Amino acid sequence: MHGETTFSDYPAPGPSHFKYSTVKGVFLQSEDDTDDKKFDFRKQNFGLIERESENDHEGRHEEKSQWQRFESYVRHLNEKSGHGSQVKVLFLGRHGQGWHNVAESKYGTHAWDCYWSLLDGADGITWSDANLTGVGTSQAQDVNDLWKEMLPKGIPAPETYYVSPLTRTIETADVSFKDLELPHDRPYKPLIKELLREVLGVHTCDRRSTASHITKVFPHISLEPNFAEEDPLWEADYREPFSARKHRLSLFLDDVFANDGGRFLSFTSHSGAIASILEAVGHRSFALETGGVIPVVVRAEKVKGEREKPPREPSEGPPPCEVPPPLVLN
């Protein structure tokens, strides 16, 4: 029997939270002069910058690959961090193309936002808790191929795989990681986290399935403790504003940094959620295509006091349309 957790009491308030910052000079995506519209992480080793780091004089680094030197550098940063400070590497992956993405392109963004996204589907397409398309599966396979190429070169495998509860993200994570030859102490065991979701409310593609359905379709996943049977966060008439979304993803990060001792973590999520994570950790904005991945080196410093919750703002997005607007292609 699943608990009845709600956003208002999840996670439990604490006496402290984290202040985040991005460690620059490690990945190209963190640099201000990288054009996110042209950058291809698949052709540039996830964006890893070939560079000498401050700890390269320690040990025989000339015999190590660039990825092995990167892992040593991250551990070096943690060793020199003061009390209450830590560094983690987050591999932020956006799901591959879903049927909701196809529908938005078909109807146009304005019509999608005010009319079609409120439906479960139309014209032979179902987008409520959307599945991946064939294109989306291929995009996730591209990520899988890249990991297969990088693992023998020493890229540190994730120690934890956090995944949004939406179907398209679980499917993406499975294709990306399920058949990789991973270290025995770092197997692919996806952990479903409620707060790692896309913008909440109104759009049915962002309403998750029941816990029973998720575990039936994906029996290999684990649900976090107190994961509710029914979706406790999605509201049919209220679209989560940006400030609330950033707060929610900041709470998620606080949970992870407080409770996960790993240094290399995978988050499989959504464009809006990833944008809020990047904002929360002080990273530059960086648009991701469907199936895109952006690694970020994040420093967290523990600070006293609960994280301030923003006031409830008006629903984001246009008011609903009673009839479909005229078709305007994106």
- pLDDT values of the chain reduced to their tens digit, one per residue, 330 residues: 444 444 444 454 458 999 999 999 999 999 999 999 999 999 999 999 997 766 565 555 568 999 999 999 999 999 999 889 999 999 999 999 999 999 999 999 999 999 999 999 999 999 999 999 999 999 999 999 999 999 999 999 999 999 999 999 999 999 999 999 999 999 999 999 999 999 999 999 999 999 999 999 999 999 999 999 999 999 999 999 999 999 999 999 999 999 999 999 999 999 999 999 999 999 999 999 999 999 999 999 999 999 999 999 999 999 999 999 987 655
Does any domain span residue 70?
Answer: no
Written as one letter, the residue type at 305 is: G
Does any domain span residue 282?
Answer: yes
Does any domain span residue 67?
Answer: no
Question: Which of 104, 171, 194, 198 is flagged as catalytic?
Answer: 198
Does any domain span residue 180?
Answer: yes
What pLDDT does residue 17 have? 96
Nearest-angstrom CA–CA distance, 124 and 168: 18
Using alpha carbons, list the distances in angstroms from residue 302 to 78, 98, 226, 275.
14, 37, 25, 22
Domain region containing 45? 16-49+86-304
Nearest-angstrom CA–CA distance, 36 and 274: 14
What pLDDT does residue 251 have? 98
b/e sequence 285-319, b meaning 16+ C-beta within 10 Å? ebebebbbbbbbbbbbeeeeeebeeeeeeeebbee
Does any domain span residue 71?
Answer: no
Written as one letter, the residue type at 157 is: A
Does any domain span residue 261?
Answer: yes
Total count of domains within the chain: 1
Retrieve residue 205's tokens: 């593609």
Nearest-angstrom CA–CA distance, 229 and 122: 27
Does any domain span residue 214?
Answer: yes
308 catalytically annotated: no
What pLDDT does residue 63 have? 81
Q: State whether residue 59 is helix, strand or coil.
A: coil
Domain harbouring 248, CATH code: 3.40.50.1240
DSSP for 183-234, written as a single string: -TTS---EEE-GGG-SS-SS-GGGSPPPHHHHHHH-TT-EEPTT--SS-SS-
Q: State whether residue 294 is helix, strand or coil.
A: strand
Question: Which of 17, 95, 203, 247 is flagged as catalytic?
Answer: 95
| Nearest in space to 221 (alpha carbons), one of 204, 245, 196 | 196
198 catalytically annotated: yes
Does any domain span residue 286?
Answer: yes
Retrieve residue 279's tokens: 């904002």
